[in-house]
């Protein structure tokens, strides 16, 4: 097995906690050859479930001639081993080489010298559940491994074209779990007893499926089925080959195939067929947000995008996430224009299951691959739901009879100069356990957007999978149901509920109601940006003094305004808000967040630019002078103008000023346009520098000003300069050089501000969170500037910087009791 | 009394008070009962069940497009009775006046009260006047109490709402709140927008008289349609589903709400109510309503789903679910006056 998780600071953190096995002081007996013999009881913890640890240890023990046994205890694996001291040490070393999976190897106690002497060889004992006071470690779903894929394509193999092929290294785990520990009886496979042949493989130490819990074959495994419209009906006895042919015909004819994948339903369409992609968008009600692609192979990914080595590792990792990668020029010619319009990146993923691989390799072209749902609703996972969606969401559905217990979307992440940023945390990630300060058993309900929940017990926290926006009733119901699933699996009853401070959050209202139920629970309000800060604190190795920059689009602040450009100084556990941008109004409240032109107007108003200049300068193809005049009235009369200092809104305003992005079609749309434009500016200026020419625009200089205890970032002079100096374009792709340089200068100014704060507070660690730091260009500019200053930029690789990570920070909020 | 202003002595209970009553109120809306100037009114011919309500009116500005605080006080009180299923009969009306209020303005308000009361068929039988120092009240407040008569065996109450009931709205929503706001803030909406102020009992009595089995009605004043439905769902413990696209909103109100960033569902109305009745009678009810100008844009906007159809801790007693054009349902939640944006 190969564990190629590109480890970042988080992993180092865990490593530092890894307790060294204690050396025994006992007198060691010596065997006839004169080598000391030992017997030990060891406990293995970390991601020890569902990775084939027991058969692996058995194989090693046999090779080393050790006696003893190994047993899965749900949360941990226990093993007793006896034999020559060097061999026992060798076994431990081999275990430690698996560091990414086995975090902790603990010597529970030394056994009496003669122990296990009656035992012949090394045995795998049946699993036994163990009750511990912390949350249990759950096994992660793992994308199909290379060996299984080879067997799947080998006509001579017993599992040739068997869609549910898996082994000790791969296959579903968490998504089909009904109880702990991970064992066949505790999964959706419980009702599928292995056939005689599979039983033999299971019992054979030489077989690579020795003790593989989900061992199956076409005789005994789950069944594939298909559902089409009446005219493409599928007979009940259709073979997998028949069904794949149907699905292929559907895809090649421009149709949409619904597929039951590892942890939920997906929709697939040919990515080179514009009308198919448009139909998919129409059906999903997702007009412009970029769509991810399933590609047949790494080679295909490299054709469409620039795949760094780290990105390639993620693409092929067991987590098998969608990885955002810079598009190549060739991508535009190979893909339908509607796949990812006007964005610099493509989201790519490699097949997670044999079935996906089979389909996409047969098509031999990238497929659009997206969660089966209507936009803003949760991912479908029950057969009945996709069956009813045939004709509305998809044209043909490829299903199977394995029940999904923990539905999860595909995870999405970004690689940038060896740094990982997780944008959507779901399949492959949400089993991770985080160490938190011990305290009350706690439930955190997250925020209303990109909602996730988190649980903590006994110093261990888990963060649930991405759910979506809670305003959708179906998402709310899914959240409640999934929380019940988690609670049942973990035998979890909270004593405390942590919640965001926003009074309008549905999650907050829900938490308040929960806290008043039969047994009253403590309700802990955690301010939005402090929750972001704490999430990083839990997931990154940070020193005792550092500065935390929490920059996003909107979070309820202590002063009842909307924060989002916060700098907190953390010193020996004390968190102090030390800096933020100068605040500005949001004219028309929620409308201002949807319409960046209102922000451009508002910043101009706040910066003291005259009405006449504003009306003249900010008019565009879509925003009329009378609209501008009307919103100007709101500002003058201070009518429905909540106050904000959110950095994300500054990006919105600039996106309109430079590019005329008048509407945020999806979250972060305007800032992404600006980033795209600025990246092209960077390419230009590299070229200009090469030719010995200048061409830089002066950066957007945010000025430091002290107001009471707070440092205020005054953006007004810079805004005025840009307002009067900037040229204007209506397209990020074809913007004139001057606009691209200004977009770049804006990003540079924002990066300068971050490092100016680090300098001012004399810290060598900056903890970064909030959606703004998902900006690839901003990350690069920050990394470039931080290095010569010896400032370390810290953000977790496996916790989203957006509100998807909020619940983890909430759950880690110290228990005052 | 031209250019004359209200003085503190007008509220003293002495000669000036009596002058104000005799010269202003009685010529305005006097009647045989009120003219007696007794301490209380004697109500005669009381046979049916009576419905009793009380309300206070504080409007800034007191004169707004399509009405004034006086007409509003009468209409508001009558509508409170109307949605109980009652016919308004008697009204108590008291003023709290700010010192220095121009008497001419008060006179206009009194005339407007008289006209509206006559239209409503309600008799003002008692009242009171107090004057407060400058700065203690914003021009004038009106406090009312109203009594109406029930001609049906049982008042309309949330408890009568049943699963499967249709939810109707009697007219397009949001005009009053936006008209008042625009006039107060001096916002140019480019189109004239008047308050929707209208009496509701003619509509509701017409429905009842023509055999509509009305279960519940609620006027959509403060908090608007959204607020009223959230309150009703909570009171009757049933879930409601609304179809966003079926809620009648005029283009002007829609545009103004978009400009201001408000949700028309939470804007106040003064001539509009929500109605709950059997699905089978929807067409009949709409035909009756549409004969009135205050019912011209009446429409079915949703249905009562029943009890506990959505299991979520976020939904208490009963929830209101708003379905958009694409069939995605969202949970309707209380928006505070300063609706703070949640999205990122
Ligand atoms: Zn495998
Ligand atoms: Zn088998």
| Residues in contact with A360: Cβ distance below 8 Å, sequence separation at least 6, in sequence order | A294, A295, A296, A351, A366, A367
Domain carrying residue B76: 8-150
A-chain residues near B336 (CB < 8 A): 503-504
How many Å apart are CA A445 and CA B52, to the nearest integer? 45
Same domain, B167 and B133: no
Of the ranges A40-49, A620-629, B96-105, B307-316, which one carries the lowest mean pLDDT score?
B307-316
Out of B98, B132, B150, a domain closes at: B150
- Rounded to 5°, the CA angle B217-B222-B223 comes to 85
Is B337 part of the contact surface with chain A (CB cutoff 8 Å)?
A: no
Ligand 1 centroid distance, CA of A354 (Å): 10
Q: Do B333 and A509 touch (CB under 8 A)?
A: yes
Which of A787-801, B133-147, B159-173 bottoms out in mean pLDDT, i.e. has the lowest?
A: B133-147
pLDDT digits (tens, 9 = 90+) for A305-345: 999 999 999 999 999 999 999 999 889 899 999 999 888 89
- Residues A486-545 have pLDDT tens digits of 999 999 999 999 999 998 888 888 888 788 876 778 899 999 999 999 999 999 999 999
Query: Is the same domain home to A476 and A388?
Result: no
Count of CB atoms situated within 10 Å of the CB of A203: 10
At residue B333 the predicted structure's pLDDT band, cuts being 50, 70 and 90, is confident
- A717 and A756 assigned to the same domain: yes
A667 close contact with B: CB closer than 8 A: yes
* A376 at B interface, C-beta within 8 A: yes
Chain A: nearest CA to B330, how far in angstroms? 4
Mean pLDDT for B91-97 is 94
Would you call B344 an interface residue with chain A, using a CB distance cutoff of 8 Å? yes
Whether the complex's predicted ipTM surpasses the cut of 0.90: no
Please report the pLDDT score of residue A17 as a whole number: 39
Q: Is the residue at A460 inside a domain? A: yes
For A241-277, how does the pLDDT look when each residue is reduced to its tens digit (9 = 90+)?
Answer: 999 999 999 999 999 999 999 999 999 999 999 999 9
User: Do A388 and A317 sit in the same domain of this protein?
Assistant: yes
Distance B130 CA to ligand 2 centre (A): 92
Q: Which of A442, A349, A351 is nearest to A149 (CA)?
A: A351
B190 or A434, greater pLDDT? A434
- Which of the two residues, A169 and A376, has the higher pLDDT score? A169
| Per-residue pLDDT, A118 | 74
Number of domains making up chain B: 2
| Cβ atoms within 10 Å of A701's Cβ, excluding its own | 16
A406 and A520 fall within a common domain:
no
A51 pLDDT higher than 90? no
pLDDT of A10 higher than 50: no
pLDDT at residue A358, rounded to an integer = 96
Shared domain for B274 and B199, answered yes or no, is yes
Q: Do B261 and A591 touch (CB under 8 A)?
A: yes
How confident is the prediction for chain A on average, in pLDDT? 89
Residue B275 within any structural domain of the chain: yes
Q: Which of A552, A592, A633 faces B187 most closely, judged by CB atoms?
A: A633
Q: Taking residues A157-177, report their average pLDDT.
A: 95
Tell me which chain B residues have a C-beta less than 8 angstroms from the C-beta of A591. 258-261
* Residue among A374, A506, A586 whose CB faces B331 most closely: A506
Give A305's DSSP letter. B
Q: Is B235 exposed, middle or buried (0-12, 13-18, 19+ CB in 10 A)?
A: middle
- Residue whose C-alpha is closest to residue A367's, from A454, A286, A297: A297
Q: How far away is chain B from the Cα of A559, in angstroms, using its nearest Cα?
A: 13
Number of structural domains chain A divides into: 4
Give tens-digit pLDDT for A405-453. Answer: 999 999 999 999 989 999 999 999 987 889 898 888 999 999 999 999 9
Are A386 and A438 contained in the same domain?
no
Interface of A with B in 551-590 (CB under 8 A): 552-554, 556, 562, 586-590
Whether residues A452 and A533 fall in one domain = yes
Q: What is the pLDDT of residue A362?
A: 95
Preferred mutation among B312, B315, B322, B335 to probe A, highest tally of A CBs within 10 A = B312
Please judge whether B344 and A592 are an interchain contact, meaning their C-beta atoms are less than 8 angstroms apart.
no
Give the CATH number, domain containing residue A290. Answer: 3.90.870.10
Distance of CA A530 to the CA centre of its chain: 20
In angstroms, the separation between the Cα of residue A450 and the nearest Cα of chain B is 10
pLDDT of residue A684: 82
Residue B337 lies in a domain: no
Residues 6+ apart with CB under 8 A from A766: A546, A547, A548, A549, A754, A757, A758, A786, A791, A792, A793, A794
Spell out the SS3 assignment of A140-204: CCECCCHHHHHHHHCCCCCCCCCCCCCECCEECCHHHECCCCCCHHHEHHHHCCCCHHHHHHHHC
Distances (CA, A) of B225 to A97, B222, B268: 64, 9, 8
Say if residue B197 is in the same domain as residue B238.
yes
Q: What does the pLDDT read at residue A26?
A: 41
Peptide bond into B105 cis (omega under 30): no
Instruction: Give A48's pLDDT tier (boundaries 50, 70, 90).
Output: confident
Distance (angstroms) between ligand 2 centre and the Cα of A197 equals 6
* Averaged pLDDT, A94-118: 73
B311 part of contact set with chain A, CB < 8 Å: yes
Q: What percent of chain B has pLDDT over 70?
A: 96
Q: Which of the ligands is closest to the CA of residue A218?
A: 2
A514 touches chain B (CB under 8 A): yes
Tell me B24's DSSP state: I
- The parent domain of residue A317 ranges over 224-414
Question: CB contact, 8 Å: B188 with chain A?
Answer: yes
Radius of gyration of chain B (CA): 21
Q: What is the mean pLDDT of chain B?
A: 91
Does residue A113 have a pLDDT over 70? no
- Please give the pLDDT value at position B226: 94
Which DSSP category does A451 fall into? B
Give the domain CATH number at A597: 1.10.357.160
Q: Is A648 in contact with B344 (Cβ distance < 8 A)?
A: yes
CA distances from A482 to A100, A431, B41 (A): 28, 14, 63
In angstroms, rounded to a whole number, what is the distance separating the alpha carbons of residues A419 and A533? 19
Q: Which of B83, B316, B277 is nearest to B162 (CA)?
A: B277
User: Would you say residue B23 lies in a domain?
Assistant: yes
Residue A5: pLDDT over 60: no
Is residue B2 domain-resident?
Answer: no
Q: Which residues contact A417 (CB under 8 A, 6 or more apart)?
A: A779, A780, A783
pTM score, two decimals? 0.89
Cβ neighbours of A376 in B, within 8 Å: 328
CB contact under 8 A, A637 and B186: yes
The model's pLDDT over A448-461, given as tens digits with 9 standing for 90+, comes to 999 999 999 999 99
| B332, closest residue in chain A (CA to CA) | A471
* pLDDT of res. B191: 77
Contact A448 B190 (CB under 8 A): no
Burial pattern A161-179, b for ≥16 Cβ within 10 A else e, equals: bbbbbbbbbbbbbbbbbbb
Residue A42 pLDDT > 50: yes
**Of A124, A153, A171, which residue sits at a domain end?**
A124
CA distance A107 to chain B (A): 44
**pLDDT score of A15:** 38
Residue B344: inside a domain: no
| Residue that is last in its domain, among B82, B116, B150 | B150
CA of A247 to the centre of ligand 1 (A): 24
What pLDDT does A136 receive? 85
User: Which H helix or E strand runs over A102?
Assistant: strand A102-110
List the CATH number of the domain containing A481. Answer: 3.30.420.360
Q: How many C-beta atoms lie closer than 10 Å to residue A45's C-beta?
A: 20
What percentage of chain A reaches a pLDDT higher than 90? 68
Collect all residues of chain A within an 8 Å Cβ-Cβ radius of residue B316: 513
Highest mean pLDDT among A689-698, B34-43, B74-83, B97-106: B74-83
* B30 lies in the same domain as B78: yes
Query: In angstroms, what is the span from residue A363 Cα to ligand 2's centroid?
Result: 29
Residues 258-287 of A with CB under 8 A from B: 285
List the single residue in B260, B326, B329 with the smallest CB-CB distance to A473. Answer: B329
- A804 SS3 class: helix
Beta bridge partners of A265: A260
CB burial string A281-303: b at 16+ within 10 A, e below: bebbbbeebbbbbbbbbeebbbe
Note the ligand closest to the C-alpha atom of A159: 2
Helix (H, G, I), strand (E, B) or coil at A17: helix
Query: Is the same domain home to A524 and A599?
Result: no
Rounded CA-CA distance A408/A410 in Å is 7
Contacts of A505 by beta carbon, 8 Å cutoff, 6+ apart: A447, A448, A470, A499, A556, B342
Q: Residue A590: which of B185, B312, B343 has the nearest Cβ?
A: B343
Cα(A148) to centroid(ligand 2), Å: 15
Query: What pLDDT score does A254 carry?
Result: 95
B280 and B173, same structural domain? yes
Is residue A554 within 8 Å of residue A668, measured between CB atoms? Answer: no
**Residue B232: pLDDT band with limits 50, 70, 90:** very high
Please give the residue of chain B at the shortest CA–CA distance from A628: B259
Domain end call among A72, A96, A124:
A124
B179 and B303, same structural domain? yes
Decide if B341 and A593 are in contact by the 8 Å CB cutoff: yes
User: Across the interface, do B331 and A507 touch by the CB < 8 Å criterion?
Assistant: no
Find the ligand nearest to A198 CA: 2
Task: Provide the 3-class DSSP secondary structure of residue A236.
Answer: coil
| Cα A438 to Cα A455: distance, rounded to the nearest angstrom | 12
Q: What integer pLDDT is reported at residue A78 of this predicted model?
A: 87
CA A192 / ligand 2 centre spacing (Å): 9
Whether residues B56 and B170 share a domain: the answer is no
Q: Which residue has the higher pLDDT, A181 or A298?
A: A298
Q: Closest approach of chain B CAs to the CA of A278, in angstroms? A: 16
DSSP label at residue B102: B
Query: What is the spatial distance between Cα A742 and Cα A652, in angstroms, rounded to a whole number?
Result: 14
By CB atoms closer than 10 A (0-12, 13-18, 19+), residue A335 is buried
Q: Could you tell me if residue A41 is inside a domain?
A: yes
B310: chain A residues, CB-CB within 8 Å: 473, 476-477
Pick among A375, A378, A476 to test the B interface (most B CBs inside 10 A): A476
The secondary structure of A618-670 as a DSSP string is H--SSS-HHHHHHHHHHHHHT-S--EE--HHHHHHHHHHHHH-----SSTTHH
Which residues on B lie below 8 Å from A514 (Cβ)? 313
What is the reported pLDDT for A12? 39
The DSSP letter of residue B124 is: E
Task: Give the pLDDT of residue A130.
Answer: 65
Ligand nearest the Cα atom of residue A200: 2
State residue A20's pLDDT score: 40
Asked whether the beta carbons of A362 and A270 are under 8 A apart, the reply is no
Question: What pLDDT was estimated at residue A506?
Answer: 87
Contact state of B339 with A589 under an 8 Å Cβ cutoff: yes
Closest-CA distance, A342 to chain B, in angstroms, reads 21
Which residue in chain A has the smallest CA separation from B344?
Answer: A553
A14 has a pLDDT exceeding 70: no
A633 Cβ under 8 Å from any chain B Cβ: yes
Give B241 to chain A, closest Cα distance, Å: 11
Asked whether residue A730 falls in the same domain as residue A612, the answer is yes
Size of interface A-B (CB pairs under 8 A): 134
Statement to judge: residues A508 and A409 lie in one domain: no
Rounded distance between C-alpha atoms, residue B191 and residue A247, angstroms: 56
Residue A27 has pLDDT above 80, yes or no: no
B327 touches chain A (CB under 8 A): yes
Mean pLDDT of all residues in A396-404: 95
What average pLDDT does the segment A221-230 reach?
88
Residue A316: what pLDDT?
A: 96
Helix (H, G, I), strand (E, B) or coil at A570: strand
Find the ligand nearest to A150 CA.
1
């Amino acid at each position: 097995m190969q564990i190629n998780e590109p480890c970042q600071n988080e992993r180092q953190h865990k490593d530092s906690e890894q307790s060294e096995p204690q050396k025994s002081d006992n007198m060691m007996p010596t065997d006839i050859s004169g080598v000391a013999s030992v017997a030990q009881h060891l406990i293995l913890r970390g991601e020890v479930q569902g990775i084939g640890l027991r058969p692996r240890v058995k194989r090693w023990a046999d090779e080393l001639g050790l006696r003893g046994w190994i047993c899965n205890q749900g949360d941990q694996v226990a093993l007793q081993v006896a034999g020559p001291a060097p061999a026992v040490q060798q076994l431990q070393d081999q275990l430690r080489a698996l560091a990414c999976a086995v975090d902790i190897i603990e010597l529970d106690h030394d056994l009496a010298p003669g122990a296990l002497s009656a035992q012949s060889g090394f045995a795998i004992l049946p699993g036994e559940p163990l009750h511990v006071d912390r949350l249990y470690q759950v096994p992660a779903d793992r994308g199909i491994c290379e060996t299984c894929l080879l067997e799947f394509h080998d006509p001579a193999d017993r599992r040739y074209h068997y869609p549910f092929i898996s082994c000790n290294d791969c296959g579903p785990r968490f998504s089909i779990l009904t109880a702990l520990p991970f064992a066949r009886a505790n999964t959706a496979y419980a009702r599928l007893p292995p056939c005689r042949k599979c039983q033999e493989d299971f019992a054979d130490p030489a077989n690579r499926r020795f003790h593989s819990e989900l061992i199956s074959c076409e005789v005994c495994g789950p069944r594939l089925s298909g559902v089409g419209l009446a005219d493409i009906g599928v007979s009940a006895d259709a073979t997998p080959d028949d069904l794949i042919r149907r699905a292929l015909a559907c895809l090649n004819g421009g149709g949409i195939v619904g597929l039951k994948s590892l942890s939920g339903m997906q929709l697939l369409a040919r990515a080179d067929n514009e009308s198919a992609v448009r139909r998919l968008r129409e059906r999903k009600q997702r007009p412009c947000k970029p769509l991810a692609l399933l590609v047949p192979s790494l080679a295909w990914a490299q054709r469409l995008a620039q795949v760094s080595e780290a990105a390639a590792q993620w693409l092929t990792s067991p987590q098998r996430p969608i990885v955002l990668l810079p598009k190549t020029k060739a991508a535009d010619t190979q893909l339908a224009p509607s796949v990812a319009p006007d964005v610099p990146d493509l989201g790519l993923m490699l097949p997670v299951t044999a079935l996906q691989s089979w389909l996409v390799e047969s098509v031999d072209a990238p497929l659009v691959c997206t969660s089966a749902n209507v936009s803003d609703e949760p991912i479908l996972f029950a057969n009945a739901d996709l069956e009813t969606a045939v004709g509305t969401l998809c044209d043909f559905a490829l299903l199977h009879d394995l029940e999904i217990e923990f539905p999860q979307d595909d995870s999405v992440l970004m690689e940038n100069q060896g740094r990982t940023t997780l944008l959507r945390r779901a399949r492959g990630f949400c089993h991770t356990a985080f160490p938190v300060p011990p305290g009350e058993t706690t439930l955190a309900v997250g925020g209303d957007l990109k909602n996730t929940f988190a649980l903590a017990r006994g110093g261990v926290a888990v963060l649930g999978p991405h759910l979506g926006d809670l305003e959708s009733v179906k998402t709310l119901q899914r959240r409640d149901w999934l929380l019940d699933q988690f609670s049942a699996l973990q035998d979890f009853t909270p004593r405390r509920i942590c919640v965001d401070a926003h009074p309008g959050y549905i999650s907050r209202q829900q938490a308040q109601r929960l806290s008043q139920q039969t047994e009253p629970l403590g309700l802990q309000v955690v301010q939005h940006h402090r929750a972001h800060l704490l999430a990083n604190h839990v997931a990154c190795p940070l020193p005792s003094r550092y500065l935390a920059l929490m920059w996003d689009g909107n979070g309820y602040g202590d002063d009842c305004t909307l924060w989002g450009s916060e700098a907190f100084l953390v010193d020996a556990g004390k968190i102090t808000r030390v800096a933020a941008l100068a605040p500005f109004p949001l004219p028309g409240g929620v409308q201002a967040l949807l319409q960046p032109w209102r922000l451009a107007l508002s910043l101009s108003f706040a910066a003291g630019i005259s009405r006449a200049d504003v009306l003249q300068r900010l008019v565009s193809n879509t925003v009329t002078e009378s609209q501008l005049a009307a919103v100007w009235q709101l500002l003058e009369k201070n009518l429905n103008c909540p106050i904000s200092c959110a950095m994300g809104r500054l990006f919105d305003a600039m996106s309109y000023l430079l590019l005329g992005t008048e509407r945020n079609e999806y979250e972060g749309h305007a800032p992404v346009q600006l980033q795209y434009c600025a990246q092209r500016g960077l390419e230009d200026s590299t070229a200009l520098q090469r030719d010995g020419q200048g061409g830089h625009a002066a950066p957007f200089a945010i000025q430091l000003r002290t107001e009471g205890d707070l440092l205020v970032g005054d953006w007004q002079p810079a805004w005025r300069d840009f307002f009067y100096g900037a040229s204007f374009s209506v397209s990020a792709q074809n913007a004139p050089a001057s606009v691209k340089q200004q977009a770049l200068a804006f990003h540079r100014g924002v990066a300068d501000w971050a490092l100016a704060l680090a300098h001012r507070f004399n810290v060598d660690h900056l903890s970064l969170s909030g959606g703004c730091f998902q900006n690839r260009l901003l990350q690069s500019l920050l990394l470039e500037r931080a290095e010569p200053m010896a400032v370390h930029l810290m953000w977790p690789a496996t916790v989203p910087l957006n509100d998807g990570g909020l619940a983890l920070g909430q759950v880690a909020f110290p228990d005052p009791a | 009394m031209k250019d004359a202003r209200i003085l503190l002595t007008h509220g003293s209970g002495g000669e000036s008070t009596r002058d104000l009553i005799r010269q202003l109120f009685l010529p305005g809306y006097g009647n045989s009962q009120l003219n007696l100037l007794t301490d209380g009114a004697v109500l005669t011919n009381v046979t049916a069940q009576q419905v009793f309500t009380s309300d206070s009116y504080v409007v800034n500005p007191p004169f707004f497009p399509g009405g004034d605080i006086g007409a509003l006080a009468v209409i508001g009180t009558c509508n409170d009775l109307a949605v109980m299923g009652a016919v308004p009969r008697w009204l108590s009306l008291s003023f709290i006046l700010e010192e220095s209020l121009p008497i001419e303005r008060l006179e206009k308000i009194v005339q407007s009260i008289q006209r509206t009361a006559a239209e409503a068929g309600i008799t003002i039988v008692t009242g009171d006047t107090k004057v407060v120092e400058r700065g203690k009240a914003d021009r004038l407040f009106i406090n009312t109490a109203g009594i109406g008569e029930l001609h049906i065996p049982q008042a309309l109450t949330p408890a009568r709402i049943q699963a499967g009931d249709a939810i109707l709205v009697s007219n397009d929503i949001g005009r009053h709140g936006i008209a008042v706001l625009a006039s107060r803030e001096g916002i140019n909406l480019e189109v004239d927008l008047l308050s929707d102020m209208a009496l509701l009992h003619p509509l509701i009595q017409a429905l009842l008289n023509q055999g509509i089995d009305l279960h519940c009605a609620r006027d959509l004043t403060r908090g608007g349609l959204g607020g009223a439905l959230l309150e009703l769902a909570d009171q009757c413990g049933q879930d409601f589903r609304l179809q966003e696209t079926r809620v009648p909103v005029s283009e002007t109100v829609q545009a103004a709400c978009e400009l201001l960033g408000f949700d028309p569902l939470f804007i106040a109305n003064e001539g509009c109510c929500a109605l709950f009745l059997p699905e089978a009678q929807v067409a009949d009810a709409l035909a009756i309503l549409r004969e009135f100008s205050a019912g011209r844009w009446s429409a079915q906007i949703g249905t009562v789903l029943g009890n506990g159809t959505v299991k979520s801790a976020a939904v208490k007693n009963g929830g209101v679910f708003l379905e958009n054009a694409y069939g995605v349902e969202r949970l309707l939640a209380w928006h505070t006056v300063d609706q703070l944006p949640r999205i990122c």
